[in-house]
Chain A
């Protein structure tokens, strides 16, 4: 969860965007450009996914 982009071998901007695309596809969500640039580590991404999914289930009235 603490893993940062600069700690992964061979990690570059294309790999990062590919990862973001995979996450978005898997969860059926979409991050904004600024969000994608602001994520500091994996934990931040997980938090954001949780927040988006929670907001979605609330609007649908699902617990």
Chain B
């Protein structure tokens, strides 16, 4: 397990170093957490983490997690914390008392209510359910019993949401039931194994409908083998549903979901070419000599990696190439080789040269306008991998197995692109990046920037958040780092609440131009000031980096001012809270005509506070025309109702880069 992580070189020595008092202890511990650690090493690292002074420092964020359980889970906690640290998340874990998950949620006096968790994980065993259904139950009876359990889960999910506005994660059920009839179990509705399998089915449907996330340990146990995940001795001795030896994998799975929910998943897959995307060296072997495609196992292995990359692209992961090659020779393979599955248009950034790969990765991140920490670098050459790990520790570099047949699986196992939604924007991202390439060449041929913007024939639709927008808005808020003056990470639950609150002003903006539809690319949340009824605060404003420099911010502000005026608002307040990534909006409000508050007492270092008297606002001229959303409204005008279940949007996966 965890084979994509490099083994630690000298764990004890590194841990010793990390324990010495120094300001970058947390950095050292986080670096150590990047390795393939065994259970005992994880426990030691977790102890060191507990003894370190955990002031959330630069680049780390904290999150409060409550685990409500009907089994023993305390042995999983060190792994959860260490795997969080691996993603620069400091997870504060609260474990509810064994078996009291209902009381914990329903009793307003329980310690859980004082903790106010941001994430609630329900980690349950299926034994209560299976014990209640007799073996002789008919399919209808079994179905009804499962339905009742699911209804109860949904009640608990709703409670966790309403009480804490928490993100809910439901763990799937490990199928630990021993066969009774053998293969025939599948055909007996009341057989325990069949009940658990149905329970997982129904749980997934309910979670999709309610917008609850799942932690799919059932799938992981199918991947690794049940014995890896369940140890009956530990169950009998200590009611551990998840075996201690599975703790490192469990912690990583959970940390992935939490990181994805907080917008920390990777966004871009950077691939090497020679001996990675194909067998052999194109510069030496030529297009006829490289090994790729049907016919040989090796050729199919490299093709399988291409296929997996192509599938990732279809779900919104950006693809890039970083190769030591002659660019013309390398590009020719994509254009001319009949067995190539990946085409040049699938690749958003193509860098082939003889320079250092670390410099090239920086260039790729810059070109795509995404953070370098959102890259995954796949290279068969251990020296290149070591070089990147050493010079760019924030880039994920999987330890590829020696056998090319295992490449795709290794990448999949590492779970870099874990998601918590799948929106139509995700599905179209690849296309949008190709369109961006066309826009760039169009820009080069335009006489001036103004000319370029005019000829882009941009038009925009806008309006309050509708039910169909919620998943995408939450995603954009979760993932946008650059055009994000306040970097407030509102969850889907929060966004739903804002949209359903009368006095909140929510606005979403979609941009279309001659090269295509950019989709929902900007969102704004304005909240009324409780003290002054005619003042609104711009709580959140995010914009996808794909549309920077297109005058969208000016047109969006024009619209926000118009809409707010109609609501009787006279003044906007807006904060800029600097982070390492949002420098691009430092002067945003100044440029839009806001005035800097001189004596602003903002709660953040270096933050600035801005005011705009709406009567003073001079609408900005832009090249963006407005299109009515009326025709859309007839289709989607359902207003958001905070009590209704989650939006009925397709929510499968997400890998948008807001940036």
Binding site for B on A (CB under 8 A): 13-14, 17-18, 21-22, 25-26, 30, 32-33, 36
Contacts and interface: CB of A to CB of B under 8 A. Distances in A.
Given A13-B238, A14-B74, A14-B238, A25 B233 contact: no
A17 B74 contact: no
B22 interface: no
B77 to A, nearest CB: 11
A43 to B, nearest CB: 21
Contacts of A13: 237-238
B229 to A, nearest CB: 15
A14 to B, nearest CB: 6
A25 B75 contact: no
Contact of A17 (B38, B237, B245): B237
A51 to B, nearest CB: 19
A33 to B, nearest CB: 6
A63 to B, nearest CB: 28
A26 B72 contact: no
| Chain B contact surface mostly | helix
A13 B75 CA distance: 13
Contacts of B237: 13, 17, 33, 36
B40 interface: yes
* Cβ-closest 3 pairs across A and B: A17-B238, A21-B244, A25-B39
A21 B39 contact: yes
Contacts of B240: 17
Interface in B1-56: 38-40, 43
Contacts of A30: 233
B236 interface: yes
A32 B234 CA distance: 10
A33 B40 contact: no
A10 to B, nearest CB: 13
A52 B466 CA distance: 66
Given A17-B238, A25-B38, A33 B74 contact: no
Contacts of B234: 17, 21
Nearest to A18: B75
A14 B72 contact: yes
Interface of B: 38-40, 43, 72, 74-75, 233-234, 236-238, 240, 244-245
Contacts of A33: 233, 236-237
A33 B238 CA distance: 11
A22 to B, nearest CB: 6
A21 B38 contact: no
Of B38, B72, B233, B240, chain A has the most CB atoms within 10 Å of the CB of: B233
A40 B358 CA distance: 58
Contacts of B39: 21-22, 25
A25 B236 CA distance: 19
B9 to A, nearest CB: 20
A17 to B, nearest CB: 5
Given A14-B75, A26-B40, 6 more contacts: A14-B72, A21-B75, A22-B40, A25-B40, A32-B233, A33-B233
A33 B43 CA distance: 24
A28 to B, nearest CB: 11
A14 B39 CA distance: 16
Nearest to B75: A18
Of A18, A21, A32, A36, chain B has the most CB atoms within 10 Å of the CB of: A21
Nearest to A22: B40
20 contacts: A13-B237, A13-B238, A14-B74, A17-B234, A17-B237, A17-B238, A17-B240, A18-B75, A21-B39, A21-B234, A21-B244, A22-B39, A22-B43, A25-B38, A25-B39, A25-B40, A30-B233, A33-B233, A33-B237, A36-B237
A46 B237 CA distance: 21
Nearest to A26: B40
A25 B74 contact: no
Contacts of A25: 38-40, 244-245
A21 B237 CA distance: 11
A58 to B, nearest CB: 25
A18 B78 CA distance: 12
A36 B236 CA distance: 12
A32 to B, nearest CB: 8
A17 B239 CA distance: 11
Contacts of A18: 75, 244
A33 B39 CA distance: 21
A45 to B, nearest CB: 15
Contacts of A14: 72, 74-75, 238
